[in-house]
């Protein structure tokens, strides 16, 4: 069964539910990438390959192009931030993931109340802002963001505020319950 079917049937076995509240109804999970544009590594590599081919007679230029490409590749890979966005009724839950496992979150970063649509800009990789962070989302997930925008416009503001308030109240109860839980 696919991930969206599992989400819509209420299956809470996905690792993202570890970071969500009990009353959260997740519409979709969207992987995103922060940092430089995802195609920047491709542009760097193609440019270096063209330079290497064109400078066959100049080995020192080839060596400098190869070392620059390796440095640029390492820089792009270390500056990338991988996120998983859980789109709920009223909020966007932002979780940190690893590069090779983009669907398995490892840390909860923030929970942001949605008050305005995403407004995707771009074609293959669309740019969105979640809080203060600029993220890139692949085209195959644009329809999920559009559906979330449609739900945001359709839902009355009081309903969105109520679900966010319910989450905060449940979270506060958990914190109060766990205060005395440590053994001395």
Q: What residue spans define the domains of the chain?
A: 3-35+80-159, 40-79
d(CA 148, CA 117): 8
CATH class entry, domain 3-35+80-159: mainly beta
**pLDDT over 50 (residue 22):** yes
Structure tokens at 83: 């996120």
d(CA 144, CA 90): 15
Between 74 and 128, residue with greater pLDDT: 128
Write out pLDDT tens, residues 129-148: 998 899 999 999 999 999 88
pLDDT at 184: 42
Write out pLDDT tens, residues 97-110: 988 888 889 999 99
d(CA 72, CA 86): 31
pLDDT at 141: 92
pTM greater than 0.85: no
pLDDT band at 111 (very low <50, low <70, confident <90, very high): very high
Backbone conformation region of residue 101, classed left if phi is above 0, alpha if psi is from -120 to 50, else beta: beta
**pLDDT over 70 (residue 164):** no
**pLDDT over 80 (residue 180):** no
- DSSP class of 38: T
65-92 burial string, b = 16+ CB within 10 Å, else e? beeebeebeeebeeebebbbbbbbbbbb
**pLDDT over 60 (residue 170):** no
Write out pLDDT tens, residues 39-74: 888 888 888 888 888 888 888 888 888 888 888 888
Average pLDDT rounded to a whole number, residues 10-26: 81
Between 3 and 90, residue with greater pLDDT: 90
Q: Kindly list the distances between the CA atom of residue 36 and the CA atoms of 33, 60, 159, 176, in Å, as whole numbers in the listed order.
A: 9, 29, 36, 41
pLDDT at 85: 93
d(CA 124, CA 38): 10
Question: In the chain, pLDDT over 90 holds for what percent of residues?
Answer: 23
DSSP per-residue codes, 75-131: HHHHH-EEEEEEE-SSEEEEEEE-SS-TTSEEEEEEEEE--S----B-SSEEEEEET
d(CA 140, CA 50): 31
Q: What is the mean pLDDT of the chain?
A: 80
d(CA 72, CA 182): 47
**pLDDT over 90 (residue 32):** yes
């Amino acid at each position: 069964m696919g991930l969206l079917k599992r989400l819509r049937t209420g299956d809470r076995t996905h690792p993202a539910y570890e970071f969500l509240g009990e009353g959260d109804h997740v519409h979709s999970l969207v992987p995103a990438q922060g940092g430089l544009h995802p195609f920047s590594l491709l542009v760097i590599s193609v440019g270096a390959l063209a330079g290497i081919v064109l400078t066959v007679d100049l080995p020192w230029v080839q060596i400098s192009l190869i070392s620059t490409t390796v440095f640029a590749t390492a820089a792009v890979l270390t500056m990338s931030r991988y996120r998983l966005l859980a789109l709920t009724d009223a909020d966007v839950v932002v979780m940190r993931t690893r590069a090779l496992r983009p669907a398995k979150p490892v840390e909860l970063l923030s929970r942001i109340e949605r008050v305005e649509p995403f407004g995707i800009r771009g074609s293959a990789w669309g740019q969105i802002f979640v809080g203060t962070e600029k993220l890139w989302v692949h085209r195959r997930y644009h329809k999920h963001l559009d559906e979330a925008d449609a739900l945001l416009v359709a839902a009355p503001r009081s309903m969105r505020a109520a679900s966010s308030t319910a989450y905060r109240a449940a979270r506060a109860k958990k914190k109060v319950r766990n205060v005395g839980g440590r053994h001395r």
